[in-house]
Structure 1
Amino acid sequence: MDIKQLKFLIALDQTRHFRKAAELCHVTQPTLSMRISKLEDELGLELVRRGHRFEGFTDSGLRILAWAKTLLAAHDGLKVEAASCRGQLVGNLRLGMVPLSSFDAMELVKPLSSQYPELAFQLSSMSSEDIIEHLGSNQLDLGLCYLDEVDPERFDIIELAVTEMGLLFDKRYFTFANGALDWQEVVSVPLGMLSRTMRFRQAIAVKLAGLGLHARTVLESDSTYQLMQAVRAGVCCAVMPRHSGMESLSDTLQLLPIGDGATHSPVGLVMRRAEPRSALAEQCFAAAQKVLSIGL
């Protein structure tokens, strides 16, 4: 067994496709299939259900996959720790982020990139619950998420601002009087929304339920980019965070504030307390404390 076999297994989980997993690992498909088969032989277990294509992992495969992710995280952490002992900060900072909040992640990434030019960033968009889970299993270094379910005994936290909401629209298709909108005006237009599992979407639902209002949702997506495309095409408007700079992406976009439009839970930068945790996470979290305290 070697680390490449574990990487192949994880790539297969990420892509759910043998050819795509091979491309991700820069090997041929026969090589990837052979190495995974060899891993199965070494463990004496069937890990992958095969037909004409990838059909999923067996129950044993899922359990081995969880260990593979833990071992790979530890392997990467070992390399980062060694670099830290040499006075370097290198490697990939794995940062999980909720898709919508008033905090622009580039306010953190840009100064860290300038301070540590050999550092690379792996950014993942996911729900707060998934961020907490991935931090706990050491699959992320840091997380930007809503704090209402974060246990301060298990995580170090830098609390950021509460997210304020606004209505994003394309001026070629929709017109509103300048100034703050109320929720009655918001629900009067077709809306694009994040998926229902996302905390930002849930915050909107709480606001509307409290007012006895119902949104006219014409499009749902787990992709912020697709929401932006729909707004630019005039398909809908979208409730988006203020101060995120989204309206600056096009001259035709405008974002107006919504009165009483703030999430109940603030967003924060989170790092797990339990060992093992990488020197990369610790140093970037310490640097973030300095960077973010200047901006707050």
Structure 2
Amino acid sequence: MIDKLEFFIALARQQHFGRAAEECGVTQPTLSAGIRQLEEQLGVMLVQRGSRFLGLTPEGQRVLEWARRIVGDTRTMREEMRAARRGLAGHIRLAVIPTALAMVQKLTEPFQARHPDVTFSVVSRTSLQVLSLLENLEIDAGITYLDNEPLGRVTSVPLYSERYHLITGVGTPLADQGSVTWSEVADLRLCLLTADMQNRRIINQHMTEAGVSPKTTLESNSMIVLFSHIRTGKWASIMPRNVAESFGFGEEIRMIPITSPDAEHLVGLVATHREPFTPLVSGLLHEARLLAASQAFDRNLLSSDGSAVLTS
């Protein structure tokens, strides 16, 4: 039945029989037959059918929840048995918000050094996409904001706090100040992440609290695009300092703290809440806790509940 449940999950994700079959590596007739057999075994209709996929029935929505749980547990069992035979090995799929991409290597490098048979794939996604991919079993873990918008049922490990800076060229307005306010920054020609990014929603929120609106003349979902425009000296941006430092800016770029308020938001590793975790996810959560604890020790900073928090 497991293969049929995987067919069903793929169909719910793709909402198209042909694409679901391609994802599962089978023909469309094979996938369709598997779904029908699953319906016969369960005694309910799962899919609304017409000339094309029309959605899941109410029973299908409930079965989808069970299917994700059963398939997830099956994968966990298989990974655990494989780890018992060969040690930790396999592939970890990570989805990361753009502002956290620069720190991923702090997690992946030591983990892979300890477990050389583990490989990674890392993709950039919005915070909402990270949670959706987790729910659909399309990734193993994500890195996203923990304290700004609802996360749902996940296990999380705090990694660091984002603090926001004005990133601008030397000689531009406000570049010679030791700190700036959100209202002052609003008057600049800004390039920012697109509105679907939680980082942008956070910036808009603090601007609104300051009673202003940002003068955004360029948007992108790519940090590289934003940095290339900052380098022209014609645009400024708002981003965490650690992100800007990762691009190796020289003396021509200023990074100025934004105050009133001195806002910060928590970023961390998230994984679908499941006991037991797969060995790979369990190992990654452990690595995240080691990373947070080591840097918290260096900075002598602990959160009120005793978990480690890094500052950027």
TM-score by shorter chain over 0.5: yes
Which amino acid in structure 2 is aligned with residue 278 of structure 1? T
Point out where structure 2 has 5 or more consecutive residues left out of the alignment: 297-312
1:39 alignment partner in structure 2: 38
Question: 125-134 or 74-83, which moves further after superposition?
Answer: 125-134
Alpha carbons 1:47, 1:58 under 8 Å: kept? yes
| Cα distance in 2 between the residues matched to 1:191 and 1:293 | 34
Q: Please report how far the alpha carbon of residue 214 of structure 1 lies from its aligned counterpart in structure 2 after TM superposition.
A: 1.0
TM-score normalised according to structure 2 size = 0.70
* Secondary structure at 2:99 match in 1: coil
| Cα distance in 2 between the residues matched to 1:236 and 1:36 | 53
Distance 1:267 1:51, change over 3 A: same
Distance 1:264 1:256, change over 3 A: closer
Question: 265-274 or 159-168, which moves further after superposition?
Answer: 265-274
Q: Please report how far the alpha carbon of residue 213 of structure 1 lies from its aligned counterpart in structure 2 after TM superposition.
A: 0.6
2:26 alignment partner in structure 1: 27
Alpha carbons 1:165, 1:241 under 8 Å: kept? yes
| Cα distance in 2 between the residues matched to 1:167 and 1:101 | 17
Alpha carbons 1:162, 1:266 under 8 Å: kept? yes
1:62 alignment partner in structure 2: 61
1:67-86 Cα distance to aligned partner (Å, 9 max, x none): 11111111110011112323
| Cα distance in 2 between the residues matched to 1:90 and 1:243 | 31
1:214 alignment partner in structure 2: 213
1:49 alignment partner in structure 2: 48
Alpha carbons 2:193, 2:219 under 8 Å: kept? yes
Q: How does 1:1-296 map to 2 (within 5 A)?
A: 1=1, 3-86=2-85, 88-101=87-100, 104-121=103-120, 123=122, 125-127=125-127, 131=131, 134=134, 142-148=141-147, 158-167=157-166, 178-179=175-176, 182-183=181-182, 184-195=184-195, 198-217=197-216, 224-225=221-222, 228-229=224-225, 238-244=237-243, 248=247, 256-260=255-259, 263-270=263-270, 275-296=275-296
Which amino acid in structure 2 is aligned with residue 162 of structure 1? S
Q: CA RMSD in A?
A: 4.2
Q: Please report how far the alpha carbon of residue 42 of structure 1 lies from its aligned counterpart in structure 2 after TM superposition.
A: 2.4
Percent identity reads 28
Which amino acid in structure 1 is aligned with residue 53 of structure 2? F
Which amino acid in structure 2 is aligned with residue 195 of structure 1? A
Q: Please report how far the alpha carbon of residue 66 of structure 1 lies from its aligned counterpart in structure 2 after TM superposition.
A: 1.3
Distance 1:256 1:28, change over 3 A: farther
| Cα distance in 1 between the residues matched to 2:115 and 2:263 | 33
Which amino acid in structure 2 is aligned with residue 243 of structure 1? N
| Cα distance in 1 between the residues matched to 2:9 and 2:71 | 9
Alpha carbons 1:97, 1:143 under 8 Å: kept? yes
Distance 1:49 1:83, change over 3 A: same
| Cα distance in 1 between the residues matched to 2:237 and 2:39 | 48
Alpha carbons 2:193, 2:199 under 8 Å: kept? no
Alpha carbons 1:166, 1:255 under 8 Å: kept? no
Point out where structure 1 has 5 or more consecutive residues left out of the alignment: none
